[in-house]
Structure 1
């Protein structure tokens, strides 16, 4: 009886998953209760993160309908492009150390991102570190996407530290061949 109930689920959900390009769900029967002629089944369904992809696709469709344009693109710059760049800010990054005290790394990161054509987004982490410091992530719209962590005694210090980490990463990536 449990197998028959699962077959119904497999058919409906499986077809939906195949139609939408999702991975097939995994079902587990946890419990069967009730008399044989009216059995009740408690079933769990496990989906991989592909359902998040479907949600993202729906959001993209919504954004496209709101903007009136058929394609929404996000700025993305490959590290190969940055590596071969001879622009001013990237050359300064290559030549100069990143160990200057009281440096505004957020401003330096902003100038570099404007020069190279990628975006930087800072995400504050609500939880403090074990040492009671603020935390933040800096996400660069490079390809591949780059995410760097920063900590500090204030939110702005954490942003500056994350920008510093991102600049160190870029420096390593553009220096390697």
Structure 2
């Protein structure tokens, strides 16, 4: 994923993020289901509450909050279901950010004898521990192929962890399973950019991919500590700035068609930064897509899709402006 930045006075440093989902033969669990399972394992179930419902009958807007433990997140969508899913997705993102890193020894690429590694890491156990720590579904192992004569059998086993899948071959089911787990650990290390599996935004972005089936555009925000001081969303409703007053008192369609420019002017006036992340993969309809992140507190992340990259940015900016308009009018 590439990144384009429209800077405003509050500077913020962000890192590149990538999206690499794979289609699963089984239906993927929704963010609500994943968060519920996480809550069961941790002993505190998520609690959802509808914060706001407004908009026209043909274009409604709902805001739902979810509280799980000490974390509270909110999502906005064009249906109650979508808003709840987005709130759950935001909570999962926060839990990913605050989860402790799991250090996994890097597997050597050299073909040394096994005696050089008297205590090789148990990749099957590592994956299971990682799934429990992150609140994911446990890894699933499936024997895909069983071939060869009785004295020289070969087994092909797949390892599936959330939306990722790896396969390996071994002379026994156990050996093939272990090799598949080792390949999955290496895959996770690759996604994290090192030997420490962090996956800060990977699960969130897989959920973003899933949510494309629910709505064309949406907005979520998460409650977590920003790296730098930022503008409180709550303070925007008290702002007397010219741009904020125009946004608060007029329909978006009557103000502008260049929502990127409008968002840039608003961010400069209010003192926060807007960053656009291009998502490499198109939507299922072949449209460009991107995420717009506002350095507010809580952080706001909005999605947009369009027939061109600039159209996608404009759509994401429109979603962000719509969200700010709702929050500033409370």
TM-score normalized with structure 1 length: 0.62
**Relative to 1, partners in 2 of residues 1:101 and 1:128: Cα closer, same or farther, differing over 3 Å?**
farther
Q: Which of 1 and 2 has greater Rg?
A: 1
CA distance in 2, matches of 1:24, 1:140: 26
The 5-angstrom pairing of residues 15-94 of structure 1 reads: 23=100, 43-44=122-123, 45=126, 46-47=129-130, 48=133, 52=198, 74-94=228-248
Give 3-state SS (helix, strand or coil) of 2:252's partner.
coil
CA distance in 2, matches of 1:125, 1:22: 25
Give the CA deviation at 1:84. 0.8
Partner of 1:135: 289
Structure showing the higher strand proportion among its residues: 2
Partner of 2:314: 160
- Kept in 1, the 8 Å contact 2:287–2:307? The answer is yes
Give the CA deviation at 1:80. 1.5
**Relative to 1, partners in 2 of residues 1:100 and 1:133: Cα closer, same or farther, differing over 3 Å?**
farther
Aligned equivalent of 1:96, options 229, 247, 250 = 250
- Kept in 1, the 8 Å contact 2:101–2:198? The answer is no
Question: Where in structure 1 do 4 or more consecutive aligned residues deviate above 2 Å?
Answer: 21-25, 39-42, 44-53, 99-102
Partner of 1:150: 304
TM-score normalized with structure 2 length: 0.35
**Relative to 1, partners in 2 of residues 1:82 and 1:43: Cα closer, same or farther, differing over 3 Å?**
same
CA distance in 2, matches of 1:147, 1:22: 20
CA distance in 1, matches of 2:101, 2:308: 45
The 5-angstrom pairing of residues 121-132 of structure 1 reads: 121-132=275-286
Give 3-state SS (helix, strand or coil) of 2:272's partner.
coil
Alpha-carbon RMSD: 3.2
- Kept in 2, the 8 Å contact 1:75–1:119? The answer is no
- Kept in 1, the 8 Å contact 2:230–2:295? The answer is yes
Q: Using CA pairs below 8 Å that are at least 6 residues apart, which structure has the higher relative contact order? A: 2
- Kept in 2, the 8 Å contact 1:120–1:140? The answer is yes
Structure showing the higher helix proportion among its residues: 1
> Would you say how many aligned residue pairs link Structure 1 and Structure 2?
128
Give the CA deviation at 1:96. 1.0
Per-residue CA deviations over 1:52-99 (Å, capped at 9, x if unaligned) read 49xxxxxxxxxxxxxxxxxxx635110121111111000000011012
Q: Does 1:113 align with 2:192?
A: no
Structure 1: runs of 5+ lacking an equivalent: 1-20, 26-33, 54-72
**Relative to 1, partners in 2 of residues 1:101 and 1:153: Cα closer, same or farther, differing over 3 Å?**
farther
Give 3-state SS (helix, strand or coil) of 1:162's partner.
helix
**Relative to 1, partners in 2 of residues 1:101 and 1:154: Cα closer, same or farther, differing over 3 Å?**
farther
Give 3-state SS (helix, strand or coil) of 2:251's partner.
coil
Give 3-state SS (helix, strand or coil) of 1:113's partner.
helix
